């Protein structure tokens, strides 16, 4: 429905068109409520008008929030820092929606005479709450406006600039994880000045398993082994998988975005990204089925599994480009920079980041990138 409506406009989604309604309707409803208390000889129609405006404001807030969720999931190529800003806007909008919606329901009940004996008293008491609701709506709207006008999110020219920046060269220093006298796989594990970790393994990096990719607590290397390259130009690290293994890179991370490029054309099972790893029974996971394309956001906390959301990825490309964003209570699984599943839960404790391989066949690891996120 939303796609059909936006096809007749130049808007990328419905959120910009809908968000102005609660921003405009709620202050007008408050004004009519004040007039209904002050102007006694016009109280009846002013009260009815205020009740109707509150109802429309509550409905508009719900629809605008729904459209905002869809708009956020449609954004492509956001940096981790921009993901944080989108999350902050979401939290402000969610809080405003609950306050406005709850107050609108109570105010409708008052207008219908359910509290007829004390209706005027309830309106007077409710006015400060209504003013707070107006402030919350304005705060949420201000953060949404900042996303567009200060950070250029969902602006075409800004997206083009980000694509150019992403294609630029990256530099950094070697991660302090190499073995004495070795300049192979671990020498290609690089940390930039901002704490971003990059790993671009080569096919001949036979020592990568166990040195760069280490088994998480509760996992082993028994189900994975290095595959010798078929030719001199074969890229990425080939891994033969015969079971389940959770492999993490050096270092612990808090709020983070983890990205990986994997080739899975010769693999059957599930692959994914793991973050905040304490052990195999205490971690966050973004899992993708190589056969059905089902994507899941999952957490394991003290051995208990929680599925935060399910989605679907496309498997028609040779290379699977996945990312998982986990900052605060916001969790998103992405393919090619686009959100395919999202969820919310309390934050996880700082831990490792890496890959999970569960199945049989060959997985070729082309790159892994870990970006710490500053709230």
The Cα-based distances of 96 to 122, 134, 137, 153 in angstroms read: 21, 8, 6, 22
How far is the first Cα of the chain from the last one, in angstroms, to the nearest whole number? 35
Alpha carbons 65 and 312: distance in angstroms, whole number? 23
In 3D space, the residue among 243, 176, 245, 240 whose CA is nearest the CA of residue 211 turns out to be 176
**Lowest mean pLDDT segment, chosen from 181-185, 231-235, 242-246:** 181-185
Of 115 and 68, which is predicted with more confidence?
Answer: 68
Q: Which two tokens stand for residue 131?
A: 């003013």
Answer whether residue 164 shows pLDDT above 50: no
The mean pLDDT of the chain is 83
Alpha carbons 130 and 333: distance in angstroms, whole number? 37
Taking only the tens place, the pLDDT of each residue in 95-148 is 998 999 998 888 888 777 776 555 566 666 778 888 899 999 999 888 888 877
Q: Which two tokens stand for residue 337?
A: 């920079």
pLDDT recorded at residue 145: 83
Average pLDDT over residues 237-254: 94
Alpha carbons 197 and 186: distance in angstroms, whole number? 12
SS3 of residue 345 by DSSP: coil
301: which residues sit within 8 A by CB, 6+ positions away? 282, 348
Taking only the tens place, the pLDDT of each residue in 30-54 is 998 888 878 877 767 888 888 899 9
Q: Give me the torsion for CA of 340, 341, 346, 347, rounded to 10°.
A: -30
Q: Model pTM?
A: 0.74
pLDDT band at 184 (very low <50, low <70, confident <90, very high): low
In 3D space, the residue among 93, 98, 195 whose CA is nearest the CA of residue 147 turns out to be 93
pLDDT recorded at residue 167: 44
In 3D space, the residue among 133, 177, 158, 370 whose CA is nearest the CA of residue 274 turns out to be 370
Residue 254 · residue 351 · CB < 8 Å: no
Answer whether residue 93 shows pLDDT above 80: yes
């Amino acid at each position: 429905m939303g796609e059909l409506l936006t096809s007749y406009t130049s808007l990328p989604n419905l959120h910009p068109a809908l968000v102005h309604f609660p921003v405009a309707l709620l202050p007008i409803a408050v004004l009519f409520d004040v007039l209904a208390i002050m102007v006694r000889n016009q109280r009846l129609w002013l009260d009815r008008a205020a009740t109707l405006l509150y109802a429309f404001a509550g409905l508009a807030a719900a629809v605008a929030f729904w459209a905002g969720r869809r708009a956020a999931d449609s954004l492509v190529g956001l940096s981790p820092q921009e993901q944080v800003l989108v999350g902050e806007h979401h939290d402000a909008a969610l809080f405003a929606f609950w306050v406005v919606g709850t107050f609108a329901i109570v105010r409708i009940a008052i207008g219908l005479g359910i509290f007829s004996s004390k209706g005027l008293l309830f309106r007077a008491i409710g006015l400060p709450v209504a003013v707070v609701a107006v402030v919350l709506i304005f705060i949420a709207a201000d953060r949404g406006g900042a996303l567009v006008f200060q950070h250029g999110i969902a602006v075409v020219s800004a997206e083009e600039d980000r694509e150019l920046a992403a294609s630029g060269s990256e530099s950094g220093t070697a991660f302090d994880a190499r073995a004495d006298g070795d300049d192979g796989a671990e020498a290609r594990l690089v940390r930039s000045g901002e704490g971003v970790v990059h790993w671009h393994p080569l096919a001949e990096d036979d020592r990568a398993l166990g040195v760069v990719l280490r088994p998480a607590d509760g996992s082993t290397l028994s189900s994975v082994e290095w595959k010798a390259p078929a030719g001199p130009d074969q890229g990425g690290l080939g891994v033969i998988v015969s079971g389940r293994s959770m492999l993490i890179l050096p270092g612990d991370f808090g709020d983070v975005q983890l990205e990986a490029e994997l080739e899975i054309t010769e693999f059957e099972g599930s692959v994914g990204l793991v973050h905040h790893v304490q052990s195999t029974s205490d971690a966050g996971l973004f899992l993708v089925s190589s056969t059905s394309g089902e994507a899941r956001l999952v957490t394991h906390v003290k051995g208990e599994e929680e599925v935060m959301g399910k989605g679907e990825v496309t498997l028609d490309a040779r290379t699977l480009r996945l990312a998982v964003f986990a900052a605060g209570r916001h969790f998103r699984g992405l393919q090619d920079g686009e959100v395919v599943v999202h969820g919310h839960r309390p934050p996880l404790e700082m831990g490792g980041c890496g890959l999970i391989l569960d199945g049989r066949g060959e997985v070729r690891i082309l790159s892994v990138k870990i970006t710490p996120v500053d709230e």
